[in-house]
Amino acid sequence: MKTIKGPALFLAQFAGDDAPFNSLDAIAKWAAECGYRGVQVPSWDARLFDLQMAASSKDYCDEVKGVAAENGVEITELSTHLQGQLVAVHPAYDVAFDGFADPSVHGNPEARQAWAVDQVKKAITASRNMGLSAHVTFSGALAWPYVYPWPQRPAGLVETAFDELAARWRPILDHAEEHGVDVCYEIHPGEDLHDGVSFEMFLERLDGHARCNMLYDPSHYVLQALDYLDNIDIYHERIKMFHVKDAELNPTGRQGVYGGYQPWVNRAGRFRSLGDGQVDFGAVFSKLTQYDFDGWAVVEWECAMKHPEDGAREGAAFVRDHIIRVTEVAFDDFASGGTDEAANRKMLGIDG
């Protein structure tokens, strides 16, 4: 068995224009002071990271790693959640998602998609330049507006959507293979890859591509009433990254999984700071350890109530207390009688 690394913090929800959240140097120092050993970097945020430079210059990547190290943390992974979303966008979401892209491609879905593919490939190259083996992203979605089967879906609609989604991602995954980087899709409502079945549909169309993997985040499964522990048993070989995020689902006579169009604080299902929700993290960390997951436990703070800085500080201690330092001995070694093949054969009655 292997010991999970951590705690680490995803910086996307904390980056801002005010110190200490407006530069990698300052935010890394702040994260270390909160108790983190690593940081996951949003590749789209120019206040923290220059993706173009990272993809073209190993010297720049070494400089970024040096800044992190000087402040007591290391870079765990790069993220392209926003760019990955734009690899596949249903027209219903064109306006909503245009803001994720460079202004030069706003209003032009074809150009926006090409820009997004280039961005994800650059992040994979940058990951290689930084010595990282995994990268997190979203899959995007073509079929999501039809997630509920009413009106009745025409025959072949979903199949066509997944055929196209796989065709768009295969060149990116091939690029990842060339660079030795796993692409880890955050399985997430709003994406076509939102549960295990949809991931399998995608993976089948990619012929089981070795670089097609998962980021495991139990909070998204709680909100779908999905068994998040069984999910680890099923998909542990594909789970290469881990977001530690809590959630709760408290359905009432008025609302359930869909939330009644309510703001997060009023939904039956909502994200919570670590320890304030319903995820059994003792069981989660135990299962991941059992299956030799040796990646980073990365806190993603999203809470409808608690202040982010409090959530971050408490999250570091929470993860540290849940990481299992694996044993190098068996608990019953004290009662061992040693190894003796002759004695073993005698005990089994097969000593001739």
Tell the CATH topology of 5-347.
Answer: TIM Barrel (3.20.20)
What is the pLDDT averaged over residues 257-278?
98
Res 58: pLDDT:
98
Query: How confident is the model at residue 61, as a pLDDT?
Result: 98
Instruction: Encode pLDDT of 198-210 as tens digits.
Output: 999 999 999 999 9
Per-residue confidence band for 332, with pLDDT thresholds at 50, 70 and 90: low
Q: CB pairs under 8 A, 24+ apart, for 91-94?
A: 92/145, 93/141
pLDDT averaged over every residue in the chain: 96
Judge whether residue 1 has pLDDT over 90: no
Arithmetic mean of pLDDT, 233-253: 98
Quick check: 334 pLDDT over 90?
no
274 pLDDT tier (thresholds 50, 70, 90): very high
At 175 the pLDDT is 98
State yes or no: pLDDT of 339 exceeds 80.
Answer: no
Mean pLDDT for 266-281 is 98
Q: Distance between CA 120 and CA 62 in Å, rounded? A: 20
Look at residues 293, 297, 254, 301 and name the one whose alpha carbon lies nearest to residue 275: 301
Average pLDDT over residues 285-306: 97
Q: Residue 132's pLDDT is what?
A: 98
In this prediction, residue 347 has a pLDDT band, given cuts at 50, 70 and 90, of confident
Mean of pLDDT values over 69-98: 98
Residue 215 CB partners (closer than 8 Å, separation 6+): 136, 184, 185, 186, 187, 239, 240, 241, 242, 243
Token pair recorded at residue 163: 């055929």
Confidence of residue 264 (pLDDT cuts 50, 70, 90): very high
Q: Which of 74, 59, 78, 81 is nearest to 28 (CA)?
A: 74
Look up the pTM and report it: 0.94
- As a whole-number percent, the residues of the chain with pLDDT over 70 amount to 98
Tell whether the model's pLDDT for residue 333 goes beyond 70: no
Beta strands 74-80 and 134-137, pairing class: parallel
pLDDT digits (tens, 9 = 90+) for 168-198: 999 999 999 999 999 999 999 999 999 999 9
* pLDDT of 60 above 90: yes
Higher-pLDDT residue of 170, 343:
170
Q: Where are the domains of the chain?
A: 5-347
Collapsed DSSP state (helix, strand, coil) of residue 234: helix
Q: Is the pLDDT of residue 330 over 80?
A: no
What φ, ψ does residue 292 adopt, rounded to 5°?
Answer: 65, 30
Can you tell me the mean pLDDT for 101-118? 98
Q: Is residue 154 scored above 80 in pLDDT?
A: yes
pLDDT band at 345 (very low <50, low <70, confident <90, very high): confident
Question: Band of the pLDDT at 338, cuts 50, 70, 90?
Answer: confident
The pLDDT assigned to 340 comes to: 83
Where does the pLDDT of residue 335 fall: very low under 50, low under 70, confident under 90, or very high at 90 and above? low
| Amino acid 331: pLDDT | 65
Partners of 212 in beta bridges: 183
